[in-house]
Each structure stands twice: as C-alpha cells, then as structure tokens.
Structure 1
Amino acid sequence: MKLTGALVILGTVLFFLTSGGDCGICLASKHDSQLFPYGTPKEFLENVEKYKDDSETLESKEKLKKCIDSTLTEEDKAHATDFVMKATLSC
C-alpha cells in the first residue's frame, strides 16, 4: 500500500479513536469514511461543508480528495475501508 493509503487509514482511525467512543456518531462517521475513498469530489465536499464550510478547509479537502482519487487503486481503497470497518467494530 502506498503512503497515501496509509495516511487515509491513519486519519480515519484517529478520527474514530478521538471521538471518545461516543457510538452515537458511529453510523454517520462510517458513512463519512466511505465518502472519502469512494464518493465523488462533489459528494465529499458537500459532506465536509456540513461540518466546516470555510474556504480554506474546503480547498484543502478538495486537494486531498483529488490526490486520493488519482493515487489510490481500487484495491488500496478496499483495504483501507476494510481496516477502518474492523477498527470501528466496537461501535
């Protein structure tokens, strides 16, 4: 797996770990984590905008999404998603 894939996994897992185990957000978080590797850039940015809609954040997330889409293979995305789902089973 490439460095980008490892960063995707790390970022998503850290998000779940820092949520304090509040399982009230797990379903929404899992949906959000699916949008990152598999959603369209528009879907992903619309989702990010629900939480933080300043232009600097949206621009950086758009760049990150483009990087993910151009770098990760479908296999990388599948591995990352499987890992995240296993890491969040306790929710």
Structure 2
Amino acid sequence: MTWAGALLLLCGGSPYLSVSEFDDLCPALRDTVDLYISGSHEAYVEQVEKYNQNSDVLETANTLKSCTDEKLTPQDKFLHLLLHNKIYSSSLC
C-alpha cells in the first residue's frame, strides 16, 4: 500500500476502527508522516520501529527515507507538509 493509500484509509475513516482508536491513530500517523517528509533519518526509522520491529519493514523504511531525502527538494517537502496539514485539519481525521 502506498503512503497516500494508507493516509486515505486511516484519515478517511475505516469501518474497523472505533472512534477512540481513530483518535489515537491519527496523531501517530501524523507524527510518522511528518518525520518521513522533514525529520531526520534516524528519527523516522525510530518512529517506525515503535510500531513495527519487523526487519523487512525497517529496511524498507530506511530505504524510503533515503530516497525521500535524496529526491525531494525543500519546496517539495514544504508542499507535502501543506497538503498533510490540510488533510489533518479535516473533520474526518
């Protein structure tokens, strides 16, 4: 699943999540996405590790963060954070 798909599923609502679970999930997702876009490499991998210790997941997180840091310009990162803030301010998230 892509990040956009995960974000849509989690912040767009899921019939499998209760309201209290959803309230706890969005801040964790927001923190993880913010670290992915603009945080340090180490902080992002540590954040992912809080929720999943699977070595394949951590290796993928490490690779994705490296790619993001190499490919996205500061303007790209800024625009992504603006979009995420718009999504987070939605009444659905």
Decide whether the 8 Å contact of 1:12 with 1:33 is kept in 2. no
Equivalences, count: 84
Structure 1 residue ranges (4+ consecutive) displaced by more than 2 angstroms after TM superposition = 10-21, 23-29
Cα deviation 1:22-59 (Å, max 9, x = unaligned): 23332332222210111111111111001111111111
Which position in structure 2 is the counterpart of 1:32?
A: 32
- Asked which structure has the greater CA Rg, the reply is 2
Please give the root-mean-square deviation of Cα atoms over the aligned residues, in Å.
Answer: 2.1
Matched residues in 1 for 2:54 and 2:83: separation? 30
Which position in structure 2 is the counterpart of 1:84?
A: 84
Partner-residue secondary structure (3-state), 1:53: coil
TM-score normalised over the length of structure 2 = 0.75
Structure-2 change in CA distance of 1:11 and 1:74 (3 Å): farther
1:66: how far off? 0.4
